């Protein structure tokens, strides 16, 4: 055993329902290093983190911290040992304030009473490090995922004396915040902390990590210094095969079809949410939506799908004016939408994968017309296969699937309704690089089949790859529309920086 390691684990086993998801995994982390934990969706990364941080019990194996054998039985015990964690599904309390979330269980006290003033001040300073100006007294429910993510990270960083685990911390952050986070991580590394980061963005791995450990199907494939591991070899380690990476980074080449616009939004807006915009979408095109966080991307989607009500403008489908005042209205006109927040807005945790896949279709058919079991089975089987959802068990409650596989099931849910217009808010979030390419291919294929798509994404390369048009948002305004050859990563980034009211 390498006792010079800060944290090490050996022979970790874990089974769920008799299926082994971790099989004799060894792991070792040194002080003062940033260690990337990589692998496909369902490889067992999150499970390993949960075991090392006391959230799950292991079936076998042992772990050491500073050469001492330790056995954290709960997240609190792990924290007491100096291990801080941000889990993949961020666990914060929506109805508490930002400051309370940051200091829950360890509020600063004065004469036995909680010192609110100091807590607020500390919270503001803490968040400023990440360039987030959240109001410490506002309830958390007010803030979008990205801000919550940062709050969770700030809390964990503050808690971790020795080791910090971050499970896909950058999934919902944009470039600016990722850089702010990385700056903080580098400082922590210099202070001698050991940091484990899980991500599906290989660029980030090469930017920040010193070493990588790769898991595949619950087994450890290997652990290497990043400097001596070319990208191709790393991908091969993760997938167990080579990936033809050719599809990405190239424009789709598809141009706007000259069919009439089937979906039309004119002067559509909502005060305080998104300034009035015009948007027309044709069957057979992919409209990409780019913009920094808080630029109004998700708000645009919510308005189009009837989750929020517009206070100006009108919408038309096939030339007929329509009211979109609820998701039901929108679904009735053939819309579908995969939301950004998978856990709160997407999955219905206790229902099975099959029930989750048929849910949207069932809702549109109404309660009196149940989908026959045989049809539900066929749908589930089809999409589990088409999207390679793992494990391919339609009866498994969806909450037991890994994050990336849940994302695929939500996508399947909407594909099953065969929508005319599909709005995807961050469809590749948390998806591994193999599946990432498949989802991009899927978007292309849906477009070729004549579906209209609106895709919101923080990954600019990806937008360039599949969009026929890109709308760029800034400060809650639609500032720029790029077409055909204009669609390049540089042009998008440039437009994103334009202040919104200049448009």
Partner 1 sequence: MTKLKQLRPQLLALAVVLVLIGLISPGFFSVTVQNGRLYGSLIDVGVRVAPVALLAIGMTLVIATKGIDLSVGAVMAITGAVAATLVADGHSVPVVLAVSLALGLVCGIWNGVLVAFLDIQPIIATLILMVAGRGIAQLITGGVILTFNDPAFSFIGSGAVLGIPMPILIWLAMGLAVGLLVRRSALGLLIEAVGINRRASMLVGVRARFLILATYAISGLCAAMAGMIVTADIHGADANNAGLWLELDAILAVVIGGTSLAGGRFSITASLIGALIIQALNTGILMSGWPPEFNLIVKAVVIVAILTLQSPAVADELSVLRGMLRRKGAKS
Interacting residue ranges for Mg ion, rule: CB under 5 A:
46, 88, 402-403
The minimum distance between CB 390 and ligand ATP, in angstroms, equals 6
Nearer to ligand ATP, 87 or 143 (CB): 87
User: H or E stretch including 275?
Assistant: strand 274-281
401 binds ligand ATP (CB under 6 A): yes
Which residues contact residue 20 at a Cβ distance below 8 angstroms, ignoring those fewer than 6 apart?
Answer: 13, 14, 218
230 binds partner 1 (CB under 8 A): no
47 binds ligand ATP (CB under 6 A): yes
91 binds partner 1 (CB under 8 A): no
The minimum distance between CB 405 and ligand ATP, in angstroms, equals 6
Could you count the other beta carbons within 10 Å of the beta carbon of residue 271? Answer: 11
Identify whether the C-beta of residue 300 lies closer than 8 Å to the C-beta of residue 277: yes
Nearer to partner 1, 272 or 366 (CB): 366
Output the CA–CA distances (angstroms, integers) from residue 367 to 74, 145, 364, in the order listed.
Answer: 42, 32, 9
Strands 263-270 and 320-322: unpaired
Integer Cα distance of 180 and 202 in angstroms: 18
Nearer to ligand ATP, 41 or 101 (CB): 41
Output the CA–CA distances (angstroms, integers) from residue 51 to 71, 345, 380, 440, in the order listed.
Answer: 10, 27, 31, 33
Near ligand ATP by CB under 6 A, which window of 45-53, 298-306, 332-340, 460-468?
Answer: 45-53
Which residues contact residue 381 at a Cβ distance below 8 angstroms, ignoring those fewer than 6 apart?
Answer: 394
Identify whether the C-beta of residue 178 lies closer than 8 Å to the C-beta of residue 204: yes
Q: Site for partner 1 (CB under 8 A): which residue of 371, 443, 465, 473?
A: 371
User: H or E stretch including 260?
Assistant: none
Helix (H, G, I), strand (E, B) or coil at 323: coil
Which residues contact residue 266 at a Cβ distance below 8 angstroms, ignoring those fewer than 6 apart?
Answer: 278, 313, 314, 315, 316
Strands 219-225 and 113-114: unpaired
- Binding footprint of partner 1, residue count (CB under 8 A): 31
Bridge partners of 471, per DSSP, are: 289, 481
The minimum distance between CB 142 and ligand ATP, in angstroms, equals 27
Could you count the other beta carbons within 10 Å of the beta carbon of residue 201? Answer: 16
Nearer to partner 1, 18 or 319 (CB): 18
Near ligand ATP by CB under 6 A, which window of 72-80, 276-284, 370-378, 395-403?
Answer: 395-403
Per-residue contact flags (x/-) with partner 1 for residues 298 to 317, judged by CB under 8 A: ---------x----------
Interacting positions 327-366 with partner 1 (CB under 8 A): 327-328, 331, 337, 339, 344-351, 355, 359-360, 362-366
Q: Site for ligand ATP (CB under 6 A): which residue of 85, 88, 199, 252?
A: 88
Near ligand ATP by CB under 6 A, which window of 36-44, 110-118, 478-486, 488-496?
Answer: 36-44
The minimum distance between CB 59 and ligand ATP, in angstroms, equals 13
403 binds ligand ATP (CB under 6 A): yes
42 binds ligand ATP (CB under 6 A): yes
Nearer to Mg ion, 37 or 479 (CB): 37
Residues of this chain that bind ligand ATP (CB under 6 A): 16, 21, 39, 41-47, 88, 391, 400-405, 430, 432
């Amino acid at each position: 055993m390498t006792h010079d390691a800060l944290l090490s684990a050996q022979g970790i086993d874990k089974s769920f329902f008799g299926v082994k998801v971790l099989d004799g995994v060894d792991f070792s982390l040194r002080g003062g290093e940033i260690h990337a934990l990589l692998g496909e969706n369902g490889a067992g990364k999150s499970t390993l983190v949960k075991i090392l941080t006391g959230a799950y019990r292991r079936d076998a194996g042992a772990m050491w911290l500073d050469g001492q054998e330790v056995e954290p039985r709960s997240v609190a015990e792990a924290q007491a040992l100096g291990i801080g964690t941000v889990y993949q599904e961020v666990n914060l309390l929506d109805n508490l304030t930002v400051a309370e979330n940051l200091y829950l269980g360890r509020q600063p006290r004065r004469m036995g009473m909680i010192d609110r003033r100091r807590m607020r001040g500390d919270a503001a300073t803490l968040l400023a490090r990440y360039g987030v100006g959240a109001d410490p007294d506002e309830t958390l429910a007010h803030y979008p995922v990205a801000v919550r993510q940062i709050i969770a990270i700030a809390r964990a960083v503050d808690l971790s004396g020795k080791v910090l685990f971050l499970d896909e911390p950058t999934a919902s952050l944009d470039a600016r915040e990722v850089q702010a986070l990385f700056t903080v991580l580098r400082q922590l590394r210099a202070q001698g902390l050991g940091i484990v980061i899980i991500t599906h963005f290989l660029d980030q791995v090469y930017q920040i990590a010193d070493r990588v450990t790769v898991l595949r199907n619950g087994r450890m494939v290997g652990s290497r210094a990043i400097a001596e591991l070319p990208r191709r070899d790393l991908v091969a380690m993760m997938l167990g095969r080579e990936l033809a990476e050719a599809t990405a980074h190239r424009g789709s080449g598809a141009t706007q079809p000259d069919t009439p616009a089937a979906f039309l939004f004119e002067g559509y807006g909502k005060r305080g949410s998104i300034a009035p915009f015009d948007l027309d979408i044709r069957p057979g095109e992919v409209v990409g939506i780019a913009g920094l966080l808080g630029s109004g991307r998700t708000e645009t989607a919510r308005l189009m799908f009837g989750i929020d009500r517009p206070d100006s403008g009108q919408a038309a489908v096939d030339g007929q004016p329509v009211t979109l005042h609820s998701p039901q209205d929108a679904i009735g006109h053939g819309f579908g939408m995969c939301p950004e927040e998978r856990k709160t807005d997407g999955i219905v945790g206790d229902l099975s994968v099959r029930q989750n896949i048929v849910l949207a279709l069932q809702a549109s058919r109404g309660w009196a017309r149940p989908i026959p079991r045989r049809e539900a089975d066929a749908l589930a089987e089809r999409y589990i296969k088409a999207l390679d959802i793992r494990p391919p068990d339609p009866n498994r409650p969806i909450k037991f699937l890994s994050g990336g596989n849940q994302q695929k099931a939500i996508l399947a849910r909407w594909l099953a309704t065969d929508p005319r217009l599909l709005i995807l808010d961050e469809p590749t979030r948390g998806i591994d690089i193999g599946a990432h390419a498949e989802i991009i291919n899927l978007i292309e294929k849906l477009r070729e089949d004549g579906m209209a798509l609106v895709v919101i994404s923080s990954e600019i390369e990806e937008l360039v790859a599949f969009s026929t048009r890109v709308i760029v948002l800034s400060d809650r305004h639609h500032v720029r529309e790029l077409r055909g050859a204009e669609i390049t990563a540089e042009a998008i980034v440039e437009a994103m920086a334009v202040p919104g009211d200049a448009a």
